[in-house]
């Protein structure tokens, strides 16, 4: 089934790319976020794929009708998808957008696919088995997080959102050792931590569970963590009525230097 899911995500990505290279309409949703033809095309393709492969398993998409928590809390196993993460980047044609598919079991993302069709890059993570990256038709390669550099001879690589939380990010980074920042959109930021190209991604602005679940599965399968920035406990899905995440930290490994920077800058109040 895993190969069929990969093929199905690639198929959805091809449809997105057809729209990307043509003319498309942009609407505004109730929360003032943009919605394009590509969001909906990917939504329909991915929902159909998952319903065909796993009949009876619920599918929750960003573009689905909202499901009440009284129903969702009965789900021990379900699919959580963001058909197009980084819609603003799609509209700008920056290429930094992804299709995201996660399988969540008892609140934990245990399987995830993140696909960036412009980059022809796909990341996959499965709990207990590991994480892989594949470029185009090349053979997939196993990936893992890297040891945190000493920040003296080699700076930390810190992922930064192009669009959100700039002030909070700057306040947090002021307490870190020598580091360099990498700007990027969508769930690609988590994937770079998973493959050992970056060390830390502090997300100090709003996200929803569908934004992070697939990439969280990749990060954790690669040996990293996605942690609630208030408690430093792993992010969990489907624990409340709201589907909003707390602010979080993605890391290859824990380190007292960034944990202390978080505390010194008032993680529970001032920043978060």
197 and 118 in contact (C-beta within 8 Å)?
A: no
Tell me: is residue 98 an annotated ligand-binding position: no
HSE toward the beta carbon, residue 150, CA cutoff 13 A = 2
Tell me: is residue 130 an annotated ligand-binding position: no
Helix (H, G, I), strand (E, B) or coil at 59: strand
Tell me: is residue 85 an annotated ligand-binding position: yes
Residue 173 CB neighbours (<10 A): 18
Give the CA dihedral 151, 157, 158, 159, nearest 10 degrees: 180
Give the Å distances, CA to CA, from 181 to 163, 195, 202: 14, 17, 11
Tell me: is residue 220 an annotated ligand-binding position: no
Tell me: is residue 60 an annotated ligand-binding position: no
The contacts of residue 179 (CB under 8 Å, 6+ apart) are: 151, 155, 156, 157, 158, 173
Tell me: is residue 235 an annotated ligand-binding position: no
Tell me: is residue 87 an annotated ligand-binding position: yes
Q: From the annotation, which residues make up the binding site?
A: 62, 82, 84-87, 211
Q: From the annotation, which residues make up the binding site for Mg(2+)?
A: 62, 82, 84-85, 211
Q: From the annotation, which residues make up the binding site for substrate?
A: 62, 84-87, 211
């Amino acid at each position: 089934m895993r190969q069929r899911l990969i093929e199905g995500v690639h198929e959805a990505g091809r449809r997105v790319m057809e729209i990307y290279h043509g003319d498309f309409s942009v609407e505004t949703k109730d929360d003032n976020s943009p919605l394009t033809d590509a969001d909906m095309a990917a939504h329909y393709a991915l929902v159909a794929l998952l319903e065909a492969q796993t009949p009876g398993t619920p599918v929750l998409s960003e573009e689905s009708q909202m499901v009440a928590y009284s129903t969702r809390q009965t789900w021990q196993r379900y699919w959580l998808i963001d058909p197009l993460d980084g819609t603003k980047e799609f509209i700008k044609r920056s290429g930094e957008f992804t299709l995201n598919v996660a399988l969540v079991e008892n609140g934990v993302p245990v399987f995830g696919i993140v696909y960036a069709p412009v980059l022809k890059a796909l990341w996959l993570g499965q709990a207990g088995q590991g994480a892989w990256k594949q470029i185009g038709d090349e053979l997939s390669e196993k990936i893992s997080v890297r040891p945190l550099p000493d920040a003296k001879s080699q700076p930390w690589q810190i992922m930064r959102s192009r669009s959100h939380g700039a002030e909070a990010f700057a306040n947090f980074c002021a307490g870190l050792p020598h580091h360099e920042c990498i700007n990027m959109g969508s769930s690609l930021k988590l994937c770079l931590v998973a493959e050992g190209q970056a060390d830390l991604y502090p997300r100090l602005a709003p996200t929803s569970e569908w934004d992070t679940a697939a990439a969280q599965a990749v990060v954790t399968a690669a040996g990293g963590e996605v942690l609630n920035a208030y408690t430093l406990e792993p992010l969990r899905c489907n624990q409340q009525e709201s589907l909003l995440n707390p602010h979080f930290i993605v890391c290859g490994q824990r380190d007292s230097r960034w944990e202390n920077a978080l505390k010194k800058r008032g993680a529970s109040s001032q920043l978060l």
